[in-house]
Structure 1
């Protein structure tokens, strides 16, 4: 290239740059300030989002959030902007093509609650928010002090209407027929109670409590659905939270949430490791009876449990923003745990006059290993019309559980030592596919349709050796295959203050239950319709009412159908029933919400009718251990159960420094049905299970801000007594306590909590079987725990409120909003 031509090009480039610089001027930032409030109460809105965009360009160029006083202070370049002010459940407030050439105060900006969000009520607090809708409640866990260093089970046990018993089983409104979802998908864990104890509480963003699900949701779970939403970072740039904890009995944990978000993608991960010791205990005092109800002998059984577990839970994910209307998220989850459980069982035998005879000792040393791998993918396409979208989801997982146990049995009146060796190997594969389509029709109406395929296979290989010889009575391989295909459709409309949502779901079930050792093959095929209907009416801006109906199913699985179980006790044995049929529930729910300035009241009246309900029955096996009968406990199908009840939830903030949350639930169970079986003497026995029982439970949580900004939280729960056809459970009171203090300029938080302050969290039962036995038992799965934790945040404000996350399977996509 000639030298003069090079000089000419350089001059043209320099001249063009100078002209361009002169036109744009220097990039001096200007300061934009303002104050965001709630329109009705005039209260400041903390964590409202302010976003600056160039007109006709959807990508944000600047932004920020409001502080505790609702104020914002954001630096931008001079120019013309569209400014959006947003807050969850409030209508968008927007400034179109606002010319900003100098520092400007936008003044006071009022946001109005969005009445279209299906009568949603949001109670804001410093750490946790509660979104109450007439069809569900959403609890944003936030920094709940009670669960620091804890697990998902601890989180659920602090949610109103939800209870977690001493063995980790979850119930909703006193009904344990609950479907537990994680990110909208059923967990592929073989033992869901153990899986919930493995996931750290700090990985949870929120919990959805759906007491009466619509046709959009899986029909499983007659008592309702609990959907646990895990954290997925959404803030621009790199940010994260790390939590370390320690406790007594010996308890250590380390977890973290990290994400990096740009305009084109979002990388996120949750990682957690814990080591836990959970000592527990149990007593069972039994009077064994003759046929005339006279006492035969006594056995007092004491158990001491020493449990140790090490667990890792982690996920990695990436959300790709393909364009402004399409996103694709892929997540890889991995869980692994190792556990050691020593169960010391001491049985003291007494004769008819309660004179001590001898002691039998059974020591069960159990070693367990579990590994879970899952890949999940989520594709969302939003069309031009607001609310018009297509969602496609897939989940593919594998789970492997391996448990071995050595039971040593000795008695002080003999020199014999008996050894029982058990092996329980379980593998499960689960594939899930789902597609959901939502089409707004205008004039306040909306159409939905979708498909869901759930395909799983569980193989349980259980073997028992008695002194080296295989015991055929307790050895089998159970193969469980489940194929469920479902389609659904829904139509919703909103006319003035009235809303309605009609849905119909059809599920086709194909289930194989095969006992390979005995060549017993059983196939069950059935298909069912599951209708639902919801009606809501807005009485005023501060009160609403609703009535809803849905039909649900509960399919027996796992321990319920496996006839082979552990031998921790040789005289009290649980056996599953492979011939169980599914139970069907018709549910009606009447709801009402009323708000005042400092108080929100939400109540429900509900009626459930369940056919072929599951019931646990105890009977004599015909076998004896030194003259003591072996009692078998097994689930059966009974005719009908009627459950009626009411509950209410109160959220009250009398002062800025004091917040109260209370929940009360009362229910009545009426069971009708007979259990007919042939006993070991070939005699037909009829057990009448007709029974009417009432019970109630209540929970109250108080949070007080003390001097020096120390937070104090107290949680107290009482589960009332309840009777059944074979006995009753007694009332139990339990309480938790927690303190928290922010340090390091709010980048760190130090928390201390006590779980089960009075060491009273137990399951206490009385069982009465005429002509067989009377027994009293207390079971404490985990004794009182002390936990100290430290939280550190970087590039992330405390309790930072973000836009609602992308929704996954069954998380409520396409909620009809009129």
Structure 2
């Protein structure tokens, strides 16, 4: 681009400052110059705009800076007369000539105009890093990741630092699944959140925010942190959009698009997509059984083949209205509909004590699934001034239905299962921010969550007519009312920044099992303090320490009493009687930025009471002489976790970017599980355990000749000991190629997920009279080809810089100043 080159500006500033520094200490004190840079059309802050101040009488005396996320900047200069230049990509540069600066000066709000000619001349696009490291969170920008083209939100999360997704789609943060997942700052209450994330296309996601130690402004839920998935909303002026078509092997294809039309006061946005996905997987469980005296009794090998197909449609439409220059009101409607088929075949091979084959049986589970979700969201932002004084109000309502029916046939039995769910949710939230003087800020707010879930599940036997199996059937009624108030105050003093907050949540939950007339009300309220302290070592490095108290409420598959009955000897069932767990979190972090490297490291400690843990327990029943084992979550007791993590972003050359993440942690759990089996015998299981594990990921993006982008990433999850066995290490590697065509209006991308087909979850389980080895692979290697076409839309990230932040993005845990 002819009029803007960020690299040259930064180099010029660096050389000027270096020359100035060589002249020795100044004979008088420097003074501060500050201001704010915004888009003249939308009045939204511009992040990463550059400011250069050149002393007219001493050209070597140069100062300047770059704006932060609020468009604000500060620079230190010696008294004198200056020429000031403000620049930002795709905007007309602004010059202020002969500005006399003799005391602390505020330039106020500076408004930059669009430069249409520059937009037409853009050849080399400005890109944000795929991973932005901030003091309170990490932000992963999805738009530049070729690896997830044509994929789902699960694929997106599996590329995010500190986050991992296992073969069954379960999400964990820093090795813990004790987390809260938000979509556009709002909680997802899906009973099976893993399945919900696999049905939302990656193309709908703008970025993912990872908040490992949230402040009092956030929900207290999520003992190990929060993952916020931010959906796309176009911001470019005029009529523009994007269309994406994809296809893959195993059979996968989809078509999606987003369109927005923006005028001075109104921004209409919409996106819609259809996708068909086929997931082929499989697994096995090889078990060895023992007699009371420890001798071998027999063997059982289970081999499983799975195939899941999904057809999904998702749509979103809304309008953002600039009611006044300082007031914005956004309303949106979301609709999702998914249907699918599941085929799960399990073959059982039986062997005697000498491992001689004695016979085989099979079990085939064929099912149909369907879900429909409708939601309405409204967001109002009122800015009282341009210094951060504002009020935001959010409201949302949603209704979700989820139906699953399956027929289980086997060598000697027949079952029919039905799982019907209706869920209604409402949310109301208000946040008030008041700056107090320079570098200080007060916040307060309210949030209410109101939920109602009805889940009917039953299993029919093979009689004529079929009869419900009472031990496996039930209707869950779950009602939840959560009211919360919070306040926090932040201020800056010299190089220290402080943020102290307190949140209060009152919870009223009803968990009712209607078939068995079990009614349970859980009422509790808690205070959740938080404290953050930051020390600015220099402009390039910061040290932080933080504390927060967190809570985890049991949800989804943890509470659902529906039984996974695809195997009749290895079954899973939720526990509706779970209690919430409380966590004290401590985090110490350090961040350092160089010209080509950004390094962030942290040490963390989590102390959790009543932690959730999955246990495998013999039920006392047998099928053809094989003991039936049930896996179920319980409140175990206490868990202490200490870990060390670092993230490194490195740009060795302009065409090559590398980012990596490493996490090492030790977990110690103490507790026991007592239960009465189906033979009325008391069983006590000691579940004390201590284990060390680690996780590593590296991602490389390189521009090859002919402007072909190549991306490669690799992930390894280390082996981890459990209370009843161990989980073995797991390795996976993905790659992708991308090429811009049609004068950068189109992009062709090809990616391979799990190149070596090694993403298999492997584990050993040791029980009193049984040893098992298991493997599970939810999805085998996949190939995907996609084509993206953009109309009236330059391929750059300006829309990310110019869009107004949602309430949950503004100063959430940020330090003032």
TM-score by length of 1: 0.86
Q: Which residue in 2 is equivalent to 1:419? A: 414
Give yes or no for the alignment of 1:315 onto 2:346: no
Report the CA distance shift for 1:67/1:463 in structure 2 as closer, same or farther (over 3 A): closer
- The one of 496, 499, 507 aligned to 2:497: 499
1:661 maps to what in 2?
659
Q: 1:61 to 1:330 in 2, by over 3 A?
A: closer
Judging changes above 3 Å, is the alpha-carbon distance between structure 1 residues 455 and 804 closer, same or farther for their aligned structure 2 residues? farther
1:178-189 counterparts in 2 under 5 A?
178-189=179-190
Secondary structure, counterpart of 1:407 in structure 2: strand
| 2-structure distance, mates of 1:419, 1:482 | 37
* Distance apart, 1:627 and its partner CA: 1.1
Q: Deviations over 1:764-790 (max 9, x none)?
A: 1100012x2100001000000000001
Give the drift of 1:810.
3.3
What is the match of residue 50 of structure 1?
Answer: none
Q: Does 1:817 align with 2:812?
A: no
Residue 581 of structure 1 is matched in structure 2 by 579
Cα deviation for residue 443 of structure 1 reads: 3.0
| CA distance in 2 between partners of 1:419 and 1:710 (Å) | 55
Greater mean alpha carbon deviation, residues 615-624 or residues 711-720? 615-624
- The separation in 1 between residues aligned to 2:49 and 2:70, in whole angstroms, is 18
Q: Which residue of 1 aligns with 2:255?
A: 254
What is the match of residue 133 of structure 2? Answer: 132
Where does residue 235 of structure 1 map in the other structure?
236
Q: Which has the larger Rg?
A: 1
Does the 8 Å CA contact 2:670/2:688 hold for their aligned counterparts?
Answer: yes
Contact 1:755–1:785 (CA<8 Å) still a contact in 2? Answer: yes
What is the CA deviation profile of residues 196-241 of structure 1, one whole-angstrom value per residue up to 9, with x for unaligned ones? 1111111111111000000000011011001111111111101111
Structure 1 residue corresponding to 2:453, chosen from 446, 458, 481:
458
**Quick check: 1:449 aligned with 2:444?**
yes
C-alpha distance in 1 between matches for 2:228 and 2:421 = 25
CA shift, 1:143, in A, is: 2.3
| Structure 1: stretches of 5+ with no match in the other structure | 1-30, 45-56, 71-83, 99-103, 115-123, 411-416
1:194 corresponds to: 195
Residue 300 of structure 1: how far off its partner (Å): 0.2
State the shift of 1:187 in Å: 1.9
Residue 216 of structure 1 aligns to a residue whose secondary structure is: coil
Encode CA deviations 1:584-631: one digit per residue, 9 max, x unaligned.
111000000011111111001000001001111111112111111111
SS of the aligned residue for 2:349 comes to strand
Q: 1:648 to 1:453 in 2, by over 3 A?
A: same
Contact 1:535-1:548 within 8 A present in 2 as well: yes
Secondary structure, counterpart of 2:706 in structure 1: helix
Please say if 1:685 is aligned against 2:686: no
2:279–2:309 contact (8 Å) kept in structure 1 = yes
- SS at the partner of 2:196? helix
Q: Distance in 2 between matches of 1:428 and 1:348?
A: 41
Question: Equivalent residue for 1:712?
Answer: 710
- Answering whether residue 784 of structure 2 is matched by residue 787 of structure 1, we say yes
Aligned partner of 1:552 among 546, 550, 553: 550
Secondary structure of 1:480's partner? Answer: strand
Check conservation: 1:32, 1:106, Cα contact below 8 A.
no
Please give the secondary structure, in 1, of the residue aligned with 2:809.
coil
SS of 1:810's equivalent in the other structure is helix
Match of residue 519 from structure 1: 517
- Report the CA distance between 1:463 and its aligned residue: 1.2
1:105 is displaced (CA, Å) by 8.5
- Name 1:324's counterpart in structure 2: 325
User: Deviations for 1:420-465, whole angstroms, at most 9, x for unmatched residues?
Assistant: 0000001100000000000001132110000000010111101111
How far apart are 1:293 and its partner, in Å? 2.7
Structure 1 residue 578 displacement after superposition: 1.8
1:128·1:141 contact (CA, 8 Å) conserved in 2? no
User: Which consecutive residues of structure 2, in runs of 5 or more, have no partner in the other structure?
Assistant: 15-37, 52-64, 75-81, 87-91, 98-105, 107-124
Deviations 1:126-147 (A, max 9, x none): 4644332211111222221101
Pairing of 1:356-371 with structure 2 (within 5 A): 356-371=357-372
Cα separation, 2, equivalents of 1:717 and 1:462 = 38
Work out which of the residue numbers 570, 589, 594 in structure 2 matches 1:596: 594
Distance 1:41 1:592 in 2: 26
Instruction: Give the Å deviation of 1:92.
Output: 5.9
Deviation at 1:368, TM superposition (A): 0.2
Q: Is 220-229 or 555-564 further displaced after alignment?
A: 555-564
Deviates more, 1:256-265 or 1:87-96: 87-96
- Displacement of 1:361 after TM fit? 0.7
CA distance in 1, matches of 2:47, 2:513: 62
User: Which residue in the other structure is 2:429 paired with?
Assistant: 434
Which residue of structure 1 lines up, in the alignment, with residue 17 of structure 2?
none
Assess if the C-alpha contact under 8 Å between 2:241 and 2:260 holds in 1: yes
Give the one of 555, 561, 577 matched to 1:563.
561
Distance change in 2, residues 1:798/1:108 (3 Å): farther
Show CA shifts across 1:353-392 (max 9, x none): 1111111110000100000000000011000251000000
Decide which of 677, 699, 702 is 1:701's aligned counterpart: 699
SS of 2:176 mapped into structure 1: coil
* Aligned residue among 469, 482, 505 for 1:484: 482
2:284 counterpart residue number: 283
- C-alpha contact 1:550 1:587 (8 A) present in aligned 2: yes
Give the 3-state SS of the residue equivalent to 1:142 in structure 2: helix
Aligned-pair distance for 1:344? Answer: 0.6
Sort the Cα spacing of 1:809 and 1:281 in 2 relative to 1 into closer, same or farther, 3 A: farther
Pair 249,69 (structure 1): closer, same or farther in 2 beyond 3 Å: farther
CA distance in 1, matches of 2:85, 2:557: 63
**Aligned pairs for 1:117-196 within 5 A:** 126=127, 128-196=129-197
Measured after TM superposition, the shift of residue 193 of structure 1 is 1.2
1:799 aligns with 2:800: no
Distance 1:36 1:768 in 2: 60
Conservation of the 8 A alpha-carbon contact between 1:492 and 1:816: yes
* Distance change in 2, residues 1:816/1:547 (3 Å): closer
Aligned to 1:270: 271
Matched residue pairs, number? 738
TM-superposed CA distance for 1:800, in Å, is 2.9
| CA shift in 2, pair 1:756/1:220, >3 Å | same
How far residue 59 of structure 1 moved from its aligned partner, in angstroms, is: 5.6
Given that 1:514 and 1:522 are in contact with CA atoms closer than 8 Å, whether structure 2 keeps it comes out as yes
Contact 1:232 1:268 in 2 (8 A): yes
- Secondary structure class of the residue paired with 1:569: coil
**Compared CA separation, residues 108 and 298, structure 1 to 2 (3 A):** farther
Alpha-carbon distance, 1:88 to partner: 5.1
